[in-house]
Chains A and B, each alone.
Chain A
Amino acid sequence: MTGFEAQLTEALRAQAEGAAMSTSTPEQYETLSHRLDQVDDRRRRSRWAIGATAAAAAAVVVGIALLMGQGGPAGPPAVPPAASDAAAPELRITGHWSTLLTDGEVTGALSGTAAEPELTQVLADLADVSGPASAAGPWRLDLWMDGLTGNLYLADPDGRPARMDQFTYEVVDDELVTTTSIGQGSSDSARFGLSVDGDRMTLVWRAGSATGQGEVYEGIERALYAASVWERVS
């Protein structure tokens, strides 16, 4: 370490120490304790609500069975199974999302798993696309998920401020997000969907052959905006 670097370290430490000494840990802990109480309360309420919902659903099923007999009416249409795609092996298409798909579009998927169990960072690569090579890429971007505040950020692989926008969305109790949350968005010529399942996040997109990278970014933004109920599922 050079003399200047040592000087820099010393300056930063002095600065940090100044801030640290001016805060009150006991007072701050009181605040934190209150916040943790609220977390506990929300968890209790969520568990109760989920249990009540399950019980209500079971009662409805039993009631229908009693009315219609065992050979009763056909159930709701099955949810389309998760699709696979050679170019995007992690591609997941949900029933909700599949209604947006149209012919003549290229398809890609962005998927990633937590880099670490703490889920402080999720790195994901934009998979190659199927369809005309000139249409869409491959593009690569890094996306990381802030497990703290429910914010999502985009930047290019080199960390340049490709997008300085912030994607802030409501964070709900993790118990309310049981397995999968879906967000979706669209730009003029592209459509996107975001699926989060525990540590795994999948962004599904389809873009017209003339779609530019900027539009894809825009669509991703909208998709992330629409993913309004993401939180890590513990």
Chain B
Amino acid sequence: MRQQAGRGEVPARDVVADLFHVHHRRLVGLAALLVDDRGSAEELVQDAFESLYRNWSGLRSPSAAVAYLDRAVVYAARSWVRRRVTARSYAWPEAGSTPSAEAEGVGRGERDALAAAVRQLPRRQREVIVLRYYLDLSEAEIAAWLGVSPGSVKRHASRATESLQHRMEAWA
């Protein structure tokens, strides 16, 4: 892994390649939580890596690249969703990606139901939930990422969890 190498010591392309092999799957998973469609998630991740490459010289340091990619994927996913909402041509899938082997077995049904409920949340609430509980970001960090106030993040998170709990109670 050449990620820690200083700029100029290792060609940007090599570092981007290393980053891709280490983080690609994780980022596709993140994108899929926000856009559902795996093909689109892959495309968004491609966009993120290309953007990283194009803007490599603007990075504070190579170590900032992972944070850049995470945020890039989230922003690209937001853009993707907005395009579809604006075009009024997008229908959220009924089912998401295939659950992992680990997810098989006891509790899978409930997990799937919960994941499906997350997909039904309004866009902003869904973003907050994914950033909070998947990326484990703080409210302040989410606010910075989304360009909203911490109070807004708190409200969205509260409404979302309340809504999810109600749906899960109904599901049970």
Contacts and interface: CB of A to CB of B under 8 A. Distances in A.
The judgment on whether A and B are partners is yes
Interface of A: 4-5, 7-23, 25, 28-29, 31-33, 35-36, 39, 115-121, 123, 142, 144, 146-149, 151, 153, 155, 157-161, 164-166, 168, 174, 199, 232, 234
Contacts of A13: 134
B60 A18 contact: no
B102 interface: yes
A225 B157 CA distance: 33
Interface of B: 13, 16-17, 20-21, 24-26, 28-33, 38, 41-42, 45-51, 53-60, 64, 67-68, 71-72, 75-76, 78-79, 82-83, 85-86, 96-103, 108, 110-112, 114-115, 118, 124, 129-130, 133-134, 144-149, 151-152, 161, 164-165, 168
A118 B62 CA distance: 11
17 contacts: A4-B164, A4-B165, A12-B115, A14-B99, A22-B38, A22-B97, A23-B24, A23-B42, A33-B17, A36-B50, A39-B54, A118-B60, A153-B82, A155-B147, A159-B152, A166-B82, A232-B58
Nearest to B108: A14
Given A19-B96, A232-B58, 8 more contacts: A11-B114, A11-B115, A17-B102, A18-B99, A18-B100, A21-B100, A148-B79, A164-B82
Contacts of A116: 60
